[in-house]
Structure 1
Amino acid sequence: MLLPKPLLSPLLPLLPLLTSLPTLAQQTRCQWSTLRSATDQVLESLTAGITGTTAAGGILLASPSLIYTQNSVALSIASPDSVLSAPLDVAFAHSIVDQDGCAGFVRIVVLPSSDGEGGGKGVLVIGAQIFYNYTFNQGTTVRQIDLVFAREGDWQMPEGLNATALLGHVAGEDWGALSRARQDSRAVLEGVAGTYLDFVGGTVNSDGNGTGTDSEAAVAVPWGRPCSRLEGSVYTAVGDAESCEKGLSPMGGTAQGITGRQFVVDESIGAVSVLARDGKLGGAPGVFEFRVVEGKLRYVHQFAATGLARMDD
């Protein structure tokens, strides 16, 4: 007597394929135009001043469950302690977008206005990484903002700094789009940034046994020529035949490191933003941004919140 054949689901042969497919969230790569528009809206909201009772927050207050950190401390974005609680007198703004990370980054210079707002006591430099959620039903919403600001009195930000000179340095840089042939991959861009951070943080100057030298570490960094470096408000520009290495003082094997690195990458302009903690500055939260062209460093920006001061201090 022949037994009946078991009934097989018509989907059974497809199960290996279906289970190997990435999730929809993994498949989604945020559109450049959507990210650009959202980041522009965030920048507008940041500069307008945010409170919980006004519409100035725009896209930020419309985003449910927004996570906001300021100098590595979690707080409400509309809190009186937030640097964003009052309108900012923005003298310079720069932003990038990261399609793979569904993220953006803004770097701004804020001057104190005549009424004492918009920067309060002196010049501010602000860097903020913005992370988005995207759904077909809700569109783009802001999931998280991690912001670091430094002001006069912080590392390389002397009291009474020359704001005109600072603005001249940042406004004179070229962060324009690169042709496809000159663009580097995300892996290359993150690698260049990481090598620089290893060098200045001391990580690669020691392998745990006291070996390794600063000169060996410096060789690993793909220095561009020309290249310029802006640390706080201190600008180092070298000749066309020299690199950004000039004037750097790495940690000489102490290996305190630059840790907790969080990247936002824009391949179209060769930009890499990094938020991290700087061991040589006592673990202060800091912002780095690099421009990399054809695998070589062109611009290096860095500032750090060494004072960790509140806005009303």
Structure 2
Amino acid sequence: MFGLHFLLAVGLSLSSLTLGAPTDANCTRESLEAAVADLLTAQTTGSSAAIKALSPSVTYTQNDKAGTISAGILASPLKIDHNRSEYDTTACATYSELIVADKAKPYVIGTQMRFTGDQITKVQTLVTTTGDWLFNVTGTLYWSSKENWDPIPAAQQDTRAVIQAAADAYLDIFNNKKVVVPWGSPCARLEGGSYTGKGLPTDSCNVGIPSGEDLTNRRYVIDETVGAVDVFLNFGGATGLPDSHQFRIESGKIRYVHTLTVMTASK
């Protein structure tokens, strides 16, 4: 991870989480899309009240710290310059990447929302900004907006198991170099604002990966329609840095990787 391992201590190993809960009758792609639309409205207006499906007893964390959603990043009205979301109708969950290119207050935000029934009962947010790992919002906006995350034709979509297995292989190689990763060719990684892709068929994500780092406490949002999986985790063991790794999987191979890593735990 471009040398991040030098800053971290290796933590205790935790097992990965399972694929998610059975499909809920109230969980449809349309309902998840509506919740994300409300999330975007909430962020642009600075009011979490815009999220209509929010449970009164919702649990909220920001950068792995428990808090109150009305006092978190959603309390700050922000202009969103680019966003991308995925919708998991099996686990009843969403993931959204929000890019705010304001020079005074730049952010790249990753948010997972989880439903119980027809209410959002858990919201977990990672907020990265100046000082976080390789943060460069200009680069993030430029490269993210150029990528193709369009829906994959139904006959060509990978299963949830294949999508998660590809992501897990990538995450496991940080601590076990014997793991076989299904690298795509090309493959491009957006890490902070740093990009490994050059628009060439030979672009590779298999560069700068450290060893001896445990990526634990994995929480998945999987969207077969776009071949995407986002994984919230702790980088460097059980008490490691708050981190998000998002993947686009095509025909079982890793095509894109986006990472967010929070360096300042007090934020």
Q: What per-residue deviation string (whole Å, max 9, x for no partner) do you get for residues 213-268 of structure 1?
A: xxx43xx10000111100111111052034311x22321xx2x3100000000000
Question: In structure 1, what is the equivalent of residue 3 of structure 2?
Answer: none
Distance 2:197 2:87 in 1: 27
SS in 1 for 2:73: coil
Residue in 2 that maps onto 1:12: none
* Aligned match of 1:57: 49
The aligned counterpart of 1:185 is 159
State whether structure 2 residue 23 is matched by structure 1 residue 33.
no
Deviations 1:100-146 (A, max 9, x none): 00111100111236xx5xx3xxx211101000122xxxxx3211101
Residue 37 (structure 1) shift: 1.5
Q: What TM-score do the two structures reach when normalised by structure 2?
A: 0.85
Q: Which amino acid aligns with 1:258?
A: L
Q: CA deviation at 1:70?
A: 0.3
Q: 2:110 aligned with 1:156, yes or no?
A: no
RMSD, aligned α-carbons: 2.1
**DSSP 3-state at the match of 1:63:** strand
Residues 167 and 247, structure 2, Cα contact 8 Å, conserved in 1:
yes
1:301-312 to structure 2, matched below 5 A, reads: 301-310=258-267
In structure 1, what is the equivalent of residue 195 of structure 2?
235
The structure with the larger Rg is 1
SS of 2:265's equivalent?
A: coil
Q: Conserved in 2, the CA contact under 8 Å of 1:275 and 1:287?
A: yes
Q: Say if 1:231 and 1:282 are closer, same or farther in 2 by CA, change over 3 A.
A: farther
SS of the residue corresponding to residue 56 of structure 2 reads coil
Equivalent position to 1:92, from 82, 93, 98 = 82
Distance 1:173 1:283, change over 3 A: same
Structure 2, unaligned runs of 5 or more: 1-20
* Greater alpha carbon shift after TM alignment, 170-179 vs 39-48: 39-48
Corresponding residue for residue 94 of structure 2 = 104
Asked if the contact 2:84/2:98 (under 8 Å) is kept, the reply is yes
Residue 96 of structure 2 aligns to a residue in which SS?
Answer: strand
Q: Look up the SS of the partner of 1:195 in the other structure.
A: helix
Contact 2:62-2:125 at 8 Å conserved across structures: yes
Q: Distance in 2 between matches of 1:36 and 1:94?
A: 11
Does 1:69 find its partner at 2:39? no
1:78 and 1:84 in contact (8 A); partners too: yes
Say how many residue pairs are matched: 245
TM-score, structure 1 as length reference: 0.73
Cα shift at 1:27:
5.8
SS in 2 for 1:64: strand
Distance 1:243 1:151 in 2: 26
